[in-house]
Amino acid sequence: MPITELLERNAREYGDDVALVEINPEMPENRRVTWKEFELIEPARSPYYRREITWSVFDEKANRFANLLLKRGVKKNDKVAILLMNCLEWLPIYFGILKTGALAVPLNFRYSADEIQYCLDLSEADILVFGPEFIGRVEEIADEIGKHRLLFYVGDGCPGFAEDYTAQVANYSSQSPNIPLTDDDYSAIYFSSGTTGFPKAILHTHRALSQSAVVEQKHHGQTKDDVFLCIPPLYHTGAKMHWFGSLISGGRAVLLKGATPEYILRSVSEEKCTIVWLLVPWAQDLLLALDNGTLKMEDYELSQWRLMHIGAQPVPQSLIKHWKDYFPNHQYDTNYGLSESIGPGCVHLGVENIDKVGAIGKAGYGWETKIIDEKGNEVPRGQTGELAVKGPGVMVCYYNDPKSTAEVLHGDWLYTGDMAMEDPDGFIFLVDRKKDVIISGGENLYPVQIEDFLRTNDKILDVAVIGLPDKRLGEIAAAIISVKPGMICTEEEIDTFCKALPRYKRPRKIIFADVPRNATGKIEKPRLRQMYGADRLVAAQNRG
């Protein structure tokens, strides 16, 4: 069924129940006010701002925006872009777009003005909805993008080049526009991470969105009583599709702005959250805060927290082992997916398979997988090849990009670009991104394997391994290492530690520096290669 029908069902059956809560710990004091739909948690001691809406209000807000869009001439298959930080307006705006038959086009909040304009042009978006954090960037391109587009602003202090969203939607009906939709109708365009240049536009149907909701509920057993803490940005398929588990079950979700360990534990405690999706850096930071005593478990009510799951990047076994030291009763799952496969769930570990931590798991509900060689033939178990997936969540295409589409879509199969291997029990282990493989002296080095080893060092907080040019070997492995606060680590220590690796896998260059990650927790390896590339190596002494 179209994903909009789930929202309308919840409005009918659970209308007075809270659907969404927004918590903003960083809201300035002068913005902490009480409105009809807004309230503070224990104002005398709460450091953060909180507001909520019910399922009926959620649906009404979506209907108002849909009716506004229709009045402005939006029709089926038009595109409406969203450039907002996580907030209470985000999802009603998203569903308002879908209710018109138009496509929602979420944009990465880190995009520069040029990237915003590029994505609007590529997706052929007719309207841009943006928030206060983006006034400067949108203003840079307003004269150009505003020639043929409507600009709606969500927040206080609407700039002169845009229309005030709040003032406009108040004048429109809260009744459903009743635009007929089918599973095969287009629903959304998401953008790739853009690690090889400007991002690609990924086209999906309503069937794909609904499939992701079913998958999330099947994998994690979400019920009406579960409360999901959503921290990652909603523009990303990962956060959105995990929230779809709350949508299909009618459960409450909490949108948290800010990922500090204190904010996470306090939100879990005060909002009685039962499911939390974390990125690796956030889980590491939380464990570090517990280790050094900055946070104490006894200060929070955490007994109801039943499931912690992680996705978006490889998960070190040592991290989960340490996590279980503090949370021995937690269920744990890891989820694998791509925006091209409508986010997480095409492969997942399963809460019953804690003994297989380190694997990404097996094919998810309704999905198929295979591992293939360069010619598309399946490889035997135990051998490394490219992971391919097949299921109802595979994208339609890269919008307006048939060449790139043909490179990854082969019949019903999506070639992921991830190198993987399958163990004797059929569990899939990620080896690395195909384009990140380092070829050193004729040997294939998989950075993820080296990173996993280095993370077992008690002094290392985070690490990234990249290939750098070398005249003799072609490439060498370089490790960028972030050391835990208060600790000192030397190259000699890392050299000694790495003697447990085969010689050809040992990093030949060590760089102590921060490891940059994007908003979804993935290491920004193209940025690292640029930072520590050939120009810097010319003057550097090659270790080896």
CATH of the domain at 70: 3.40.50.12780
- Residue 363 in contact with residue 390, Cβ under 8 Å? no
The pLDDT assigned to 314 comes to 66
- Residue 119 in contact with residue 111, Cβ under 8 Å? yes
Rounded Cα–Cα distance for residues 358 and 67 (Å): 48
Of 213, 350, 335, nearest to 278 by C-alpha is 335
425 and 458 housed in the same domain: no
In tens, the pLDDT along 388-428 reads: 999 999 999 999 999 999 999 999 999 998 889 999 999 99
Instruction: Please report the beta strands in 399-531, taking only residues with DSSP state E, as ranges in sequence order.
Output: 409-410, 413-422, 428-433, 438-440, 443-445, 460-470, 474-483, 509-512
**Which residues neighbour 160 within 8 Å (Cβ) at sequence distance 6 or greater?**
none
Choose one of 192, 224, 258: the last residue of a domain: 258
Choose one of 416, 433, 450: the last residue of a domain: 433
The pLDDT assigned to 92 comes to 98
Which residues, listed in sequence order, are joined to residue 467 by a DSSP beta bridge?
Answer: 477
The parts of the chain modelled with pLDDT lower than 70 are: 26-48, 193-197, 312-314, 432-434, 441-443, 471-472, 518-521, 533-544
18: tokens are 């809270």
Helix (H, G, I), strand (E, B) or coil at 430: strand
* Residue tagged 């640029």 (tokens): 530
- Residue 213 in contact with residue 86, Cβ under 8 Å? no
444 and 515 housed in the same domain: yes
Rounded Cα–Cα distance for residues 522 and 525 (Å): 9
Q: Computed from CA positions of residues 74, 151, 238, 400, in that sequence, does the dihedral angle turn out positive or negative? A: positive
Choose one of 369, 404, 433: the last residue of a domain: 433
One-character DSSP codes across 148-208: S-EEEE-SSS--TTSEEHHHHHTTS--S-------TTSEEEEEE---TTSSPPEEEEEHHH
121 and 72 housed in the same domain: yes
Please state the domain count of the chain.
3
**Which residues neighbour 284 within 8 Å (Cβ) at sequence distance 6 or greater?**
319, 461, 462
Helix axes of 280-291 and 261-271: crossing angle, nearest 10 degrees: 90
The pLDDT assigned to 66 comes to 98
Read off the amino acid at residue 260: T
Rounded Cα–Cα distance for residues 183 and 299 (Å): 47
Residue 363 lies in a domain: yes
Residue 519 lies in a domain: yes
Residue 277 lies in a domain: no
410 and 365 housed in the same domain: yes
Rounded Cα–Cα distance for residues 335 and 451 (Å): 19
126 and 92 housed in the same domain: yes
399 and 449 housed in the same domain: no
User: Cβ-count burial of 382 within 10 angstroms (0-12 exposed, 13-18 middle, 19+ buried)?
Assistant: exposed
Residue 298 lies in a domain: no
The pLDDT assigned to 521 comes to 66
Cβ count near 484 (within 10 Å): 17
CA distances 470 to 438, 445, 479, 538, 544, Å, are 11, 14, 15, 10, 11
One-character DSSP codes across 92-128: HHHHHHHHTTPEEEE--TT--HHHHHHHHHHHT-SEE
Contacts 24+ apart (CB under 8 A), 451-454: 451/314, 451/316, 451/479, 452/314, 452/316, 452/317, 452/358, 453/498, 453/500, 453/501, 454/479, 454/481, 454/494, 454/497, 454/498, 454/507
**Which residues neighbour 141 within 8 Å (Cβ) at sequence distance 6 or greater?**
113, 114, 116, 117
128 and 172 housed in the same domain: yes
pTM beyond 0.85: no
In tens, the pLDDT along 143-168 reads: 999 888 999 999 999 999 999 999 99
34 and 118 housed in the same domain: yes
422 and 327 housed in the same domain: yes
Range of the domain at 253: 4-258
Cβ count near 410 (within 10 Å): 13
Rounded Cα–Cα distance for residues 364 and 348 (Å): 6
420 and 448 housed in the same domain: no
117 and 176 housed in the same domain: yes
CATH of the domain at 408: 2.30.38.10
254 and 327 housed in the same domain: no
Rounded Cα–Cα distance for residues 180 and 170 (Å): 24
CB-based burial, 418-445: b 16+ in 10 Å, e otherwise = bbbbbeeeebbbbbbbeebbbebeeeeb
Helix axes of 317-326 and 280-291: crossing angle, nearest 10 degrees: 50
